Structure 1
Amino acid sequence: MDSLITAAARALAAGDPLGALNRVALREDAAALALRGIAMAQLGDLPRAKALLRGAARAFGPREAVARARCVVAEAEVALASRDLNWPPAALAAARRTLEAHDDHHNAGHARLLEVRRLLLIGRLDDAERLLTEAAPMTLPPPLHAAQALIVAGIAMRRVRTQAAREALAMAASAAQRAGIAALSAEVESAAQLLAAPAARLIARGVERPLLLDEVEALLASPALIVDACRYVVRAKATSIELARRPVLFVLARALAQAWPGDTPRDALIERAFRISHADDTHRARLRVEIGRLRALIEPLARIDATQRGFALTPRAAQEVAVLARPVEEKHAALLAFLADGESWSSSALAIALGASQRTVQRALDALAAAGKAQSFGHGRARRWTTPPVPGFATTLLLPAPLPGD
């Protein structure tokens, strides 16, 4: 490898893309194309970066398997940064195996971290943890150490393990400082801000207040009966009853929990659960059926008693009843939570992340755009959607995956 390529590579490792381009901007050999692609990615020109990296992969000969695999890893990182979740993960896994077979452990570790980041982004926490723990112990350079710690922190925050998240973020900050890369330090700081922002709302005894993530953790560890409107479950201590696929029953459970220790009128339950303003006998009959189904499901945790004007929730062991809700609730809130990360998303990537059809997501995006809550740029397959981050708005930390439809 010649001196210019070596110097450009060192500049990129130090987070100096302009210094790297000064050395290889006019060269068209495979190594220079790869370095130019990485430099353009660091500068934010992701389409140009992707084209250069693909050109570099084609330019490397069949005997240069390691160099081609490194190009695939770099292209996967660009795809992840541009939220191109349709980029084939199997290609990244194959590149990682190639690098491991040739003892390029650092780049193989980078490829594994990219795989884990993609799984974390789409909410597959179990798979992300498994892949992360399968990696052989090794000493990572500071940038990769920071990236790994950020992933560990992200998993811990979504598992609502606040102390573990803080420890991982401290490790990430230390590693980013050693790396001396400003963009990496900014990413760590952005992740740390999530711990200081409201993650949910508590609704209990007619009072609402925002909760930080550590307060959510304390609530979940308490003996209270909790109707979790972030993950659509009813829980108390170690018992959890999922209602994500029973939206009508969940609406009823939440209405009863919010009225506790009082009762909820029948007409109010009908209006909330069935979205009907004027109830008749058929609606009241349907309400009795749905209340019976809910009563059977949550029987281990609470009773539902009929009152003169409606129904009341009575916990069996808990002394308190609380509703855990998103910081802001509105139609398409889950979609806005993903857009609020400040990145540009394609409708297909959002469909993968949400576990919904692309057409459903597109209709929701059109509705948000008409309301001025989202904006797009580009056309056709290059169209991307974004919205500026809104202080206090919903985050993805407590969202399940796949998400139930809004």
Structure 2
Amino acid sequence: MDSLITAAARALASGDPLGALKRVALRDDAPALALRGIAMAQLGDLVRAKALLKRATRAFGPKETMARARCVVAEAEIALVSRDLAWPVKALDAARAVLEAHGDRVNAAHAFNLEVRRLLLIGRLDEAERLLAAFEPPPLPPASRAAYELVVAGVAIRRLRTKAAHAALARAEQAAREADIPALTAEVETASLVLKTPAVRLIARGEERPLLLEEVETLLASGALVVDACRNVVRIGDTVISLSSRPILFALARALGEAWPGDVPRSTLLYRAFRARHTDESHRARLRVEIGRLRVGLQTLAHVTATKSGFALSPHGNGDIVVLAPPVDEQHAAVLALLGDGEAWSSSALAIALGASSRTVQRALDQLLADGKVQWFGQGRARRWMAPSVPGFPTILLLPSPLPND
């Protein structure tokens, strides 16, 4: 590696993409193209970065397998940041295997982080957790340590293990300070805000108040019957009954949970479940059928009983009933939650992450656009969607150690 390439790689490692470009901007050899691509990605020009890295991959000779693998890892990082979730994961797995075989455990660990981050984005939490449990990270430089701890924190947050999340974020903050990369520090600070921002609304006994994730964890361990309107489940402790595929039953369960310890009139239940303002005997017959289905579905956790005016929900035992609702009731809350990370998403990536059809996601985006809650840029397949109120941060260091030919 010549002196300019070495200096450019060190500039990138310290979070100085402009300094790296000053040294290699006019060069078209393979190592320079790779470093230019990483620098452009750090500056936010992901399209140009992707093109440069593809050129670098082609320019490296067939014997330079480790350099080519590093370029693949950088492309995977760009795909993740640009929410190209259909990017071929097998290529990343192969690149990680090459890096491990050549002893580049730092970049292999970075590739592992990308795999887990993608699994978190698309909701495959069990698989992400299994990978983390089986992975023993090697001694890593500060930037890589921070990225790894952010992945650990992400899993802990989604599992509602707030103590583990706080500990991982503290380690990530320490590593980010040692790395002294502003974009990485900003990413850690943004991740930490999740634990300091109200995550849900608690509805109990006719009152509402916001809850932090730590308070949600405490509530779920308290033995209360929780009607979770964020995941569309009803649970007591570790016993969970999912109604995500039965929206009418969940609407009834939520209405009954919000009214506890009172009951809910039949007319209110008809509107909540069927949006029926003017009812007839067919509506009332359907309500009786759905209440019967709800009674069977929740029989291990609670009773659904008829009253003079309607129906009431009561738990087995003496526990309370509470409802957890999103911070803001919004028809397309799941789409907004994904866009809330500040990155630009394609409609196809949103569909993959939500497990929904592309047409369903597009209808949601069109409605949110009409309401002024999202914005788009680009045309055709290049169109990307963002939540306009959420500021973005520069992407972090793509490859945490000097790139080619070292």
TM-score by length of 2: 0.94
Q: Is the 8 A contact 1:223 1:318 kept in 2?
A: no
**Is residue 38 of structure 2 the alignment partner of residue 32 of structure 1?**
no
Letter in 2 for 1:234: V
The residue aligned with 2:189 is: 189
- The reply to whether residue 84 of structure 1 matches residue 53 of structure 2 is no
Measured against aligned partners, the alpha-carbon deviations of 1:44-98 in whole angstroms (never above 9, x if no partner) come to 1100000000000000111111111110000111111111111111111111111
- Which residue does 2:382 correspond to in 1? 382
Check whether the contact 1:112–1:132 (CA below 8 A) recurs between aligned residues: no
Task: Name the amino acid aligned to 1:155.
Answer: V
- Structure 2 residue aligned with 1:99: 99
What are the residue-to-residue correspondences of 1:57-136 with 2, within 5 Å?
57-136=57-136
Deviation at 1:379, TM superposition (A): 0.4
- Deviation for aligned residue 1:390: 6.1
**1:323 & 1:136 partners in 2: Cα distance?**
39
How far apart, CA to CA, are the structure 2 residues paired with 1:351 and 1:26? 40
Aligned to 1:346: 346
Check whether the contact 2:12–2:39 (CA below 8 A) recurs between aligned residues: yes
Q: Secondary structure at the match of 2:114?
A: helix
Instruction: Please state if 1:153 is matched with 2:140.
Output: no
| 8 A contact 2:375–2:388 mirrored in 1 | no
How far did 1:318 drift? Answer: 3.7
Measure how far apart 1:132 and its partner are: 2.1
Instruction: Supply the distance in 2 between the matched residues of 1:364 and 1:53 (Cα, whole angstroms).
Output: 34
CA contact 1:341–1:389 (8 Å) conserved in 2: no
Determine the structure 1 residue equivalent to 2:206.
206
Query: What does residue 164 of structure 1 align with?
Result: 164
CA–CA separation in structure 2 for the residues paired with 1:319 and 1:289:
27
Q: Specify the alignment match of 1:45 in structure 2.
A: 45
The 1:135/1:237 distance shift into structure 2, 3 A limit, reads closer
Letter in 1 for 2:249: L
Q: Which residue number in structure 2 is paired with residue 320 of structure 1?
A: 320
Instruction: Note if contact 2:254-2:323 (Cα within 8 Å) is conserved in structure 1.
Output: yes
CA distance in 2, matches of 1:46, 1:134: 32
Whether the 8 Å CA contact 1:11–1:20 is kept in 2: the answer is yes
Give the superposed CA RMSD: 1.2
* Helix, strand or coil at the partner of 1:240: strand
Q: Is the counterpart of residue 233 in structure 1 residue 233 in structure 2?
A: yes
User: Aligned partners of 1:349, 1:103: CA distance in 2, in Å?
Assistant: 33
Question: For the Cα contact (< 8 Å) 1:347–1:385, is it kept in 2?
Answer: yes
Range that drifts further, 133-142 or 336-345? 133-142
Q: Residue 241 of structure 1: SS of its match in structure 2?
A: strand
Moved more, 310-319 or 18-27: 310-319
Equivalenced residues, count? 391
Which residue in 2 is equivalent to 1:404? none
SS at match of 1:215: helix
Report the AA paired with residue 219 of structure 2. L
Q: Is the 8 A contact 1:201 1:209 kept in 2?
A: yes
Q: Amino acid of the residue matched to residue 248 of structure 1?
A: I
Deviation at 1:137, TM superposition (A): 3.9
Question: What is the rounded CA distance, in whole Å, between the counterparts of 1:334 and 1:310 in structure 2?
Answer: 32
User: What code does the residue aligned with 2:217 have?
Assistant: E
| In structure 2, C-alpha distance between the alignment counterparts of 1:330 and 1:33, rounded to whole Å | 45
Equivalent residue letter for 1:213: L
Aligned to 2:243: 243
Contact 2:342-2:386 at 8 Å conserved across structures: yes
Match of 2:130, SS state, is: helix
TM-superposition CA deviations, 1:171-226 (whole Å, max 9, x none): 00000011111110010001111111110000000000110111111110112111
Residue 400 of structure 1: aligned partner: none
The answer to whether the aligner puts 1:299 opposite 2:284 as a matched pair is no
Distance 2:177 2:159 in 1: 27
Distance 1:359 1:199 in 2: 29
Q: Is the 8 A contact 1:24 1:32 kept in 2?
A: yes
Matching residue's letter, 2:184: L
Take 2:102 and 2:57, find their aligned partners in 1: how far apart are those partners? 17
**Unpaired stretches in structure 1, ≥5 consecutive residues:** 392-406
1:316-351 superposed Cα distances (whole Å, 9 cap, x missing partner): 114211001111111111111111211111111111
> How far did 1:388 drift?
2.6
- 2: CA distance between counterparts of 1:389 and 1:209? 24
Contact 1:113 1:132 in 2 (8 A): no
1:48 alignment partner AA:
R
Q: Stretches of 4+ moved more than 3 A in 1?
A: none
Whether the 8 Å CA contact 2:347–2:384 is kept in 1: the answer is: yes
SS at match of 2:314: strand
Aligned to 1:281: 281
Deviation at 1:155, TM superposition (A): 0.9
Structure 2 residue matching 1:138: 3-state secondary structure: coil
Distance 2:166 2:110 in 1: 23
Amino acid at match of 2:106: H
CA 1:331–1:171 in structure 2 vs 1: closer, same or farther (change >3 Å)? same
Q: For the Cα contact (< 8 Å) 1:248–1:274, is it kept in 2?
A: yes
Q: Which residue of 1 aligns with 2:398?
A: none
